Chains A and B, each alone.
Chain A
């Protein structure tokens, strides 16, 4: 059974810092990995999708990497801003619908 773990559970950083969020998964037989953002009381916004054959994806200040063999992904956020404050969720797609981690709650302090 696929299990997804996100570390840390919560993170508080001053504005302008670069930061890394970690995601690990137990079964490397995946099709893709998605990173989502969730604001309080809102649905999920897809940030980046990495196919299993890819090593990384970039969108603006965000960069996600995938090491399928070791079951790890990282989300790198450059030059963090208060507007980045949200919960970040990692999810993997295999032969079952998405399996989610419990998220990292990020606070960027102005």
Chain B
């Protein structure tokens, strides 16, 4: 079946502009996660959605970052007034249910470059 998809695959933007990154999880998966992979920093958690519960935003690095999940499916990560340090690969993952024993399945990522 279809895996997690993300769009765009690459995004180049000028400093100060807003960007939106999209994630389509595996159908039926109730949990959705966003991670960021920066050069030399490894993978870090950003935000987590589980069903209709309030999202866990504890990993968002600043208030310029926000995310929403519409209809319990597609999610959009928005970065306002982008900065050069936002350049990274943004990865989305989904799992059948929330934090616990469930395997997370990752999308191919969106490579964001802020010039």
A interface residue numbers (CB < 8 A to B) = 31-32, 34, 36, 41-46, 49, 51-52, 89, 91, 93-103
Contact check, B42 vs A103: say whether CB atoms are below 8 A apart.
yes
Q: Which residues of B, 63-98, contact A by the 8 Å Cβ criterion?
A: 91, 93
Size category of the B interface is 20 to 34
Contact A93 B106 (CB under 8 A): no
5 contacts between A and B (CB under 8 A): A32-B103, A46-B106, A97-B35, A97-B56, A101-B42
Residue numbers of B with Cβ under 8 A of A are 33, 35, 42-45, 48, 56, 58-59, 91, 93, 99-101, 103-109, 111
- Residues from chain A with a CB closer than 8 A to the CB of B59 are 97
- Known A46-B105, A102-B42; contact A97-B33, beta-carbon cutoff 8 A: yes
Write the chain B residue with the least CB distance to A89.
Answer: B43
A34 touches B104 (CB 8 A): yes
Bound Cα distance from A96 to B59, whole angstroms = 10
Among B42, B43, B59, B93, the most chain A Cβ lie within 10 Å of the Cβ of B43
Q: Cβ of B108 and Cβ of A99 under 8 Å apart?
A: no
Interchain CB contact under 8 A, A31 and B99:
yes
A residues near B109, Cβ cutoff 8 Å: 42-43
Q: Please, which residues of chain A bring their CB within 8 A of the CB of B56?
A: 97
* Contact A95–B99 (Cβ < 8 Å): yes
Residue in contact with A96 in the complex, picked from B99, B105, B108, CB distance below 8 Å: B99
Asked whether, in the complex, the Cβ of B45 is within 8 Å of the Cβ of A44, the reply is no
Residues on B with beta carbons closer than 8 Å to the beta carbon of A97: 33, 35, 45, 48, 56, 59, 99
